[in-house]
Structure formats: C-alpha cells, structure tokens
Amino acid sequence: MKSLAFLLLAAASLHAGEKSLFNGKDLTGWEGNPKLWSVQDGAITGKTANEGDAKISHNTFLVWKDGTVGDFELTFQYRIEKGNSGVQYRSKALDPGPSGPVISGYQADFEAGKTYSGILYEEKGRGILAKRGEKTTIGENGKPTVTGQVGDSNEIQATIKDEQWNEYKIVAKGNHVQHFINGKQTVDVTDNDPKNAPKEGLLALQIHAGPAMVVQFKELVLKTE
C-alpha cells in the first residue's frame, strides 16, 4: 500500500505535458542487460564488476522503450560511485555487443571524477561538442567553436556532490541543447551540422567500460509540451 500511495502522489505532482519514466519499483518500459541493471533502494541501478558476468567489454545502456525524444525537457536525480555515465538522447541503436545494447548520439555526461560532468558528448560520433562551462556552435563541418561561456567549470564542479544525489536537467529545442546540474547551466550548444545534428531518437542510460562502477537514477520526468 505504501508503494501505491507513493506512485499516486508522484503522478498527482506531475504537470501538464510531463511523464514519469520510472515507476520506482521495476524496469517496466526499459530494456538492457539484466545482469547489469536492476532497481535498488527505489532507484534504477547499473552495476559493473571487475570479473564475472558483470564485467563489461564495451559501454552499454538501459534503453527507454516507450517512445523517442525530440524537443523536450528531462529532469532526473543521479548518483555515481566511480566511473563515468550519462544519459543518451536523440540517439540511435547500433548492433548490440556481448554486454548489451550499444547506442550512438548526444550524451549528457557525468562522472565520479572532476572533468566531464555536464558536458555534451556524442557517443560513437563527433566526440566532445561542448566542455563544461562552454557555449558552442557546431558548424557544417561538424566541429564545435566556442562562442561564449555559461559559467566557470571549477565553480560548477564545486556544487556537484560526490557519491550523493544530484539533479540534472536536459533541455533540447530544435538545434539548441542545454544541460544543467543542481540548477547551474553547464553547456549551451547550437548544432548547425545538417548531416549529423540529431532531431529525434532514443533515450538511454549508460554504464561505462572500465573498472567496476555503480550508477543510480530516479525521479526521471520527461516534459514534451
């Protein structure tokens, strides 16, 4: 009864055009390697290991299967222990690997380290499109040019809580995308690359190849109106 009451309260708190992407109890609506992804303590949890079935040979993803995203706002809470992760958006599926789904496209990056949280990275594509604190424009050649700043990278990093919950927001409208962590804007990107700028695609959560790591997500709310 407690979980039902929680879900009803969460649904009542949503505004027009908003949709909760996670029911708080299982991975309904999501698809990935069940040896890596589960629900623990009310959060979507991705875990890798240094050996055994949870050792991964490539980056892999938990893919949202109930639709695609084009113009939208997504807010979520995340926490990470070691390693690197992120949320893919407007992305596409490639051939899966032995560790699970493989995804290419925009990624709102975050990590347990001090450098990449908040950047815009294109997985299996054009690479880093904006470093933290940058405003960039991507030209027809697919290369980003820094046109300004949205904040100081070190100051933004100082507000990110290690191994604790942080709030992330992604805003994508047309060819303009923005990321925010804990209320601070981290990047502002205008993508004028007609060949490669994605307009719509998959939403997915990442676990990264390398040493063992843990990442958790909760309170994922998608707004499309």
Residue 8 has pLDDT above 70, yes or no: no
Residue 188 CA to its chain's centroid (Å)? 16
In Å, how far from its chain's centre is CA 164? 16
Q: Which domain holds residue 16?
A: 2-223
Residue 13 confidence (pLDDT): 64
Under the banding of pLDDT at 50, 70 and 90, the label for residue 3 is: very low
pLDDT-derived band at 2 (thresholds 50, 70, 90) equals very low
* pLDDT score of 16 more than 80: no
CATH number at residue 127: 2.60.120.560
- With a cut of 70, say whether residue 5 has pLDDT above it: no
Q: Tell me what pLDDT residue 46 has.
A: 98
Q: For position 14, what pLDDT does the model report?
A: 78
The answer on pLDDT for 11 being more than 70 is no
Quote the mean pLDDT of the chain.
94
Tens-place pLDDT, residues 166-211: 999 999 999 999 999 999 999 999 999 999 999 999 999 999 999 9
Model pLDDT, residue 6 = 47
Structural domain count of the chain: 1
Average pLDDT over residues 64-76: 97
Q: Which of 55, 61, 46 is nearest to 93 (CA)?
A: 61
pLDDT at 58: 97
Q: What is the pLDDT of residues 120-175, one digit of tens each?
A: 999 999 999 999 999 999 999 999 999 999 999 999 999 999 999 999 999 999 99
